[in-house]
Amino acid sequence: MNSAIPTNVFRFVFIFLVQVMVFKQVTFSLGGLAYIHFIIYPLAILLMPIKTPRGVLLLSAFVMGLALDMFYDSVGIHAATLVFTAYIRNIVIALLEPYDGYNMSDVPTIKNLGIGWVVSYLSITLLIHIFVYFSIEAFSYVFFFEIFLNTIFSFIVSFIVILVAQFIIQTKY
């Protein structure tokens, strides 16, 4: 369990850097209809070991969110969203629990839990995350149509990136 901490810290920093250095630059708009954001930073929280205490999840999500907000000039929006995602993470994990339960040391990877589990886990949490993100960004459901479009398009591109990353980078913890 101890060696899990450096791995997670490293992944945390790595995902943060990739998000602000690479994917922040490729935000583009789709014919003025929807904005496509590559939102991969929830991975830092989602890939933490399954039995990580909730408090740790929430606090690291808060830190990550605020750090992202500094780069995105959107004080609090990423933080609020990521804290929410960290909170519902455990609910989704509980819903998807396999018949024989989780191991204490399980990390949510394809190798440990199988591709079906990883796909449903990541897609559910990511979709919720992106929807909440655009809702808070718009801050009013008057713009429901815009929120809906942005969510759909951003989800598709982000999920492809995240899923490919699961095959390329496979960590032990």
Partner 1 sequence: MYNVIQLFAKYGAHILFIILEVVCFALIINYNKTQKDIFLNSSNVFAAKLSEQQNKILQFTNLKAQNDSLMRENATLIENIITSEYLTDKIPAADSLLNQYTLIPTIISSTTIHKRNNYLTLNKGYREGIRSDMGVIASHKGIVGIVRNISENYSQVISLLHSQTKISCAIKNRMGHGSLVWKNMDPLRMTLESIPKHETIAIGDTVITSGYSTMFPKGILVGKIETYNVIPGSNSYNITVKLFNDLTNIKYAYVIQNRFAAEQATLEKEVANE
Instruction: List interacting residues with partner 1 (CB under 8 A).
Output: 53-55, 58-59, 61-62, 65, 69, 74-77, 79-80, 83-84, 87, 136, 139-140, 142
Work out how close the CB of 17 gets to partner 1 at its nearest, in angstroms, rounded to a whole number.
Answer: 22
CB of 138 to partner 1, least distance (A): 8
Please say which residue, 74 or 109, places its beta carbon nearer to partner 1.
Answer: 74
Distance CA 5, CA 152 (A): 34
Round to whole Å and give the CA distance between 67 and 89: 20
Q: At what angle do helices 144-168 and 115-138 cross, to 10 degrees?
A: 150
Q: How far is the CB of 42 from partner 1 (least distance, A)?
A: 15
What angle separates helix 54-72 from helix 4-18, to the nearest 10 degrees? 20
The CB-of-79 to partner 1 minimum distance in angstroms stands at: 5
- Residue 54 or 111: which CB sits closer to partner 1? 54
Q: Do residues 12 and 60 make contact, with C-beta atoms less than 8 angstroms apart?
A: yes
Which of residues 73 and 100 has its CB atom nearest to partner 1 in the complex?
A: 73
Q: Toward partner 1, which CB reaches closer, 58 or 157?
A: 58
Torsion of CA 161, 16, 89, 167, to 10 degrees: 30
What single-letter amino acid sits at 63?
V
- Asked if 56 contacts 78 with a C-beta cutoff of 8 angstroms, the reply is no
As measured in angstroms, the least distance from the Cβ of 156 to partner 1 is 26
Q: Which is nearer to partner 1, 28 or 144 (CB)?
A: 144
